[in-house]
C-alpha cells in the first residue's frame, strides 16, 4: 500500500464521517425514527474503527522493517506477505 493511497483512503473515511455526522444531525432534528439515527451512528463508529485499523497496519509494517534492520535481515516483509517458493 503506497502512502498516497493511504492518505486518500483516510481522507475518504474522514469525509464520510463528516457527511454521516451531518446526516445524523439532520435526521435527528427532523424527527426521523431513532433506529435510523442509530444506524448512521453505527456507520460512523465502523468508519472510525477502519481508520484506527489502517494506522495499526502501518505501525505493524514499520515495526517489521525496524526489526529486520536491527537483525540485518534482507527479507523484511511480514510473514503473511512472503511468497512461498
Q: Is residue 80 domain-resident?
A: no
- How many structural domains is the chain composed of? 1
| Three cell numbers written together for 65 | 522493517
Q: Is residue 76 domain-resident?
A: no
Q: Compute φ and ψ for 3, nearest 5 degrees.
A: -65, -35
Q: Is residue 83 domain-resident?
A: no
pLDDT tens digits along 2-31: 667 888 888 999 999 999 999 999 999 998
Q: Is residue 59 domain-resident?
A: yes
pLDDT tens digits along 25-67: 999 999 899 999 999 999 999 999 999 888 877 777 788 778 7
Q: Is residue 51 domain-resident?
A: yes
Q: Is residue 85 domain-resident?
A: no
Q: Is residue 84 domain-resident?
A: no
Domain interval for residue 44: 3-70
Q: Is residue 10 domain-resident?
A: yes
In angstroms, rounded to a whole number, what is the distance separating the alpha carbons of residues 40 and 23?
8
Amino acid at each position: 500500500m503506497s502512502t498516497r493511497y493511504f492518505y486518500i483512503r483516510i481522507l475518504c473515511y474522514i469525509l464520510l464521517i463528516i457527511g454521516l455526522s451531518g446526516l445524523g444531525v439532520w435526521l435527528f432534528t427532523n424527527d426521523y425514527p431513532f433506529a435510523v439515527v442509530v444506524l448512521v451512528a453505527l456507520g460512523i463508529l465502523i468508519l472510525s474503527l477502519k481508520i484506527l485499523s489502517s494506522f495499526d497496519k502501518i505501525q505493524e509494517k514499520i515495526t517489521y522493517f525496524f526489526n529486520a534492520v536491527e537483525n540485518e535481515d534482507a527479507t523484511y516483509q511480514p510473514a503473511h506477505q512472503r511468497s512461498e517458493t
